[in-house]
């Protein structure tokens, strides 16, 4: 796109970092003809994270929950320039961002100048510096994590099958432990147990009975963001389905084969075959660097923003959205990031109007300036704050059951069971970013219903 509009006014540059929930929603809604739009992300696709826990065991295929970023950009009214790269450093003074290619066949670093930066790099899994986690556990954040978990499960099962049932090594290999009783850990434990009971049981009836799925949670209960009654429903179902629930259990260290945890006042040591770590989020290194450059940024939980999603300390040029931010009452969820992206698309349209008017004022004859300035005041006073509309929380808890804490208008509903699972399915289908994803996910579910899961590596 040309650097100026037909009237000679400059076309400003927006650099968007990330291709996750926040940035993809912005890109989908932004009038890209108003700006030079540059997107930087190491991932050339959007990932529909709510169905990621279904992928390691093959309930949903990974290809079904990704949407190429080019396909989103193609539908935008103006051009979008994409770099398959990661941001290394942001210089808020100089308004530049240093990026580095992640494509090994095409190495480069570049300094990109921006007028506006939309910072949406998400967060990384936290380990709370628990020794041995990075070396031995898998996370569940990216596609590569789901693939790694699948390989580890299949490898453990095949190795165990070669050992005698009395061999303690066989028992170790068949112990799958998930640490963290938030929704990620709960949904993954539920999917693992479904796979063992519904599919593996058919091919390896003896071995499948020996598999233990365990969920360890430091607090007295799982799923803290849900209503007490739903938490109890989920915990009862886990007990019924023989998912070992270790509550009040804080994992303290991990090695290749064992977990050490504080369970009440006692220290326990438990062997494991596959370990998945799901204890929440921490800021990425590039975010920590940015925090250190701006005086008002004094929270360790994420970038501080105001009610217009402007970054404190760089309000004139940087917006931050999604999991990389911290704002009281806004949780690190897809729902929040998605709504922030939508809001920002509208805000950037207004900002374009303001910038155009400022340019016209600079060009205008003295006698026209006053009229234009009063229009500018009105436009600037028109900026709404971001208002989050919480639609509720949903979680899959296994055996074709789900829980939902949902709001419709002023009413709150607490739902649990098989009908809630159908609601969960339709809500997630509706949330899919594209028609293609919707069709593929629906086909995966049908396939599993009639033919079972395809979990071969």
Which residues lie near ligand NAD (CB under 6 A)? 50, 128, 130, 179-185, 187, 216-219, 224-225, 250-251, 278-281, 331-333, 393-395
Which CB, 50 or 273, lies closer to ligand FAD?
50
- Choose the contact partner of 284 out of ligand FAD, ligand NAD, none; CB within 5 to 8 A by kind: ligand FAD
- The Cα 156–Cα 138 span in angstroms is 14
Return the exposure string of 40-60: e unless at least 16 CB atoms fall within 10 Å of the residue's CB, then b: bbbbbbbbbbbbbbbbbbbbb
Q: Choose the one of ligand NAD, ligand FAD, none that binds residue 19, judging by a C-beta under 5 to 8 angstroms depending on kind.
A: ligand FAD
Phi-psi region of 184 (alpha: psi -120 to 50; beta: other; left: phi over 0): alpha
Residue closer to ligand NAD (CB basis): 344 or 394: 394
Q: Tell me how many degrees the CA angle 217-222-223 measures, rounded to the nearest 5.
A: 130
CA distance 117 to 96: 9
Report the Cα 117 to chain-centroid distance in Å.
20
- Bridge partner residues of 250 (DSSP): 262
Q: How far is the CB of 286 from ligand NAD (least distance, A)?
A: 20
Determine if 52 is a binding residue for ligand FAD (CB under 6 A): yes
Does 22 sit near ligand FAD (CB under 6 A)? Answer: yes
Q: Of residues 13, 36, 49, 59, which one binds ligand FAD by CB under 6 A?
A: 49
Q: Side-chain half-sphere of 268: how many Cα atoms within 13 Å?
A: 16
Selection from ligand NAD, ligand FAD, none that 122 binds (CB < 5 to 8 A by kind) is ligand FAD
42 binds, among ligand NAD, ligand FAD, none (CB under 5 to 8 A by kind): ligand FAD
Q: Look at residue 49 and give its three-state secondary structure.
A: helix
Nearest 5 degrees, angle CA 75-CA 80-CA 84?
115
Diameter of the chain measured on Cα atoms: 94
8 Å CB contact between 67 and 436: yes
Smallest distance from ligand FAD to CB 385, Å: 19
Site stretch for ligand FAD (CB under 6 A), options 38-46, 260-268, 366-374, 447-455: 38-46
Alpha-carbon span 104 to 122, nearest angstrom: 23
C-alpha 288/C-alpha 409 separation (Å) is 38
Is 356 an interacting residue with respect to ligand FAD (CB under 6 A)?
Answer: no
Q: Which residue in the set 29, 32, 41, 279 belongs to the binding site for ligand FAD (CB under 6 A)?
A: 41
* Among positions 141, 150, 170, 401, the unique one binding ligand FAD when judged by CB under 6 A: 141
For residue 122, state whether it binds ligand FAD (rule: CB under 6 A): yes
Nearer to ligand FAD, 90 or 376 (CB): 90
Q: Which region, judged by CB under 6 A, interacts with ligand FAD, from 6-14, 46-54, 166-174, 401-409?
A: 46-54
Residue 18 binds which entry of ligand FAD, ligand NAD, none, CB below 5-8 Å type-dependent: ligand FAD
Residues 158-187 that bind ligand FAD (CB under 6 A): 184
Measured distance CA(193)–CA(188) in Å, rounded: 9
Q: Which does 173 bind (CB under 5 to 8 A by kind): ligand FAD, ligand NAD, none?
A: none
Our finding on whether 311 is near ligand FAD (CB under 6 A) is no
Is the CB of 40 or the CB of 237 nearer to ligand FAD? 40
Which of the 8 DSSP states describes residue 327? B
Site for ligand FAD in 67-106 (CB under 6 A): 86-87
Give the nearest distance from C-beta 241 to ligand FAD in angstroms.
Answer: 20
Q: Which is nearer to ligand NAD, 117 or 245 (CB)?
A: 245
> Does residue 399 contact residue 237 with C-beta atoms inside 8 Å?
yes
Minimum Å gap between C-beta 393 and ligand FAD is 7
DSSP state of 199: I
Q: Is the dihedral of CA 231, 233, 238, 239 positive or negative?
A: positive
Other CB atoms within a 10 A radius of the CB of residue 233 amount to 21
Tokens for 121, please give them: 């790099």
Question: Among residues 308, 326, 324, which one has the least CA distance to residue 316?
Answer: 308
* Segment lying near ligand FAD (by CB under 6 A), choices 47-55, 191-199, 366-374, 447-455: 47-55
User: Can you give the binding site for ligand FAD, defined by CB under 6 A?
Assistant: 17-23, 40-43, 49-50, 52-53, 86-87, 120-122, 140-141, 184, 284, 286, 322-324, 332-335, 337
């Amino acid at each position: 796109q040309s650097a100026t509009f037909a009237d000679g006014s400059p076309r400003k540059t927006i650099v968007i970092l990330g291709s996750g929930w926040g940035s993809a929603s912005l890109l989908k809604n932004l009038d890209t003809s108003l700006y030079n739009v540059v997107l930087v992300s190491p991932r050339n696709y959007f990932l529909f994270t709510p169905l990621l826990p279904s992928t390691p065991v093959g309930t949903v295929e990974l290809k079904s929950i990704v949407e190429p970023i080019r396909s989103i950009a193609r539908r935008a009214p103006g051009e979008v320039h994409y770099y398959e790269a990661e941001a290394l450093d942001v210089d808020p003074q100089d308004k530049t961002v240093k990026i580095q290619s992640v494509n090994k066949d095409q190495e480069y670093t570049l300094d990109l100048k921006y007028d506006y930066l939309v910072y949406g790099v998400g967060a990384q899994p936290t380990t709370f510096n628990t020794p041995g986690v990075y070396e031995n556990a898998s996370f569940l954040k990216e596609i590569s994590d789901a693939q790694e978990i699948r390989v580890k499960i299949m490898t453990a099962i095949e190795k165990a099958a070669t050992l005698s049932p009395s061999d303690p090594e066989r028992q170790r290999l068949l112990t799958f432990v998930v640490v963290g009783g938030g929704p990620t850990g709960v949904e993954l434990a539920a999917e693992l147990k479904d796979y063992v009971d519904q599919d593996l049981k058919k091919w390896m009836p003896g071995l499948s009975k020996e598999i233990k799925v365990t969920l360890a949670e430091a607090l007295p209960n799982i799923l803290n963001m849900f209503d007490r009654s739903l938490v109890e429903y989920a915990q009862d179902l886990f007990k019924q389905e023989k998912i070992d629930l270790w509550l009040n259990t804080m994992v303290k260290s991990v090695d290749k084969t064992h977990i050490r945890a504080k369970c009440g006042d006692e220290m326990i040591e438990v062997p494991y075959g596959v370990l998945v770590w799901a204890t929440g989020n921490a800021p990425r290194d590039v975010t920590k660097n940015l925090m250190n450059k701006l005086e008002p940024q004094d929270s360790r939980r994420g970038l501080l923003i105001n009610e217009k999603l402007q970054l404190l300390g760089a309000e004139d040029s940087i917006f931050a959205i999604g999991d990389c931010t911290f704002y009281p009452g806004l949780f690190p969820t897809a729902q929040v990031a998605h709504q922030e992206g939508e809001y920002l698309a509208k805000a950037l349209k207004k900002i374009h109007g303001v910038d155009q008017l400022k340019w016209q004022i600079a060009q205008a004859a003295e006698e026209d300036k006053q009229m234009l300035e009063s229009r500018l005041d009105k436009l600037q006073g028109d900026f709404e704050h971001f208002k989050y509309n919480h639609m509720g929380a949903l979680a899959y808890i296994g055996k074709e059951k789900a829980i939902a804490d949902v709001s419709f208008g002023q009413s709150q509903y607490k739902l649990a069971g098989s009908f809630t699972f159908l609601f969960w399915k339709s809500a997630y289908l509706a949330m899919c970013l594209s028609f293609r994803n919707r069709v593929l996910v629906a086909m995966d579910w049908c396939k599993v219903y009639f033919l079972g899961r395809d979990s071969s590596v």
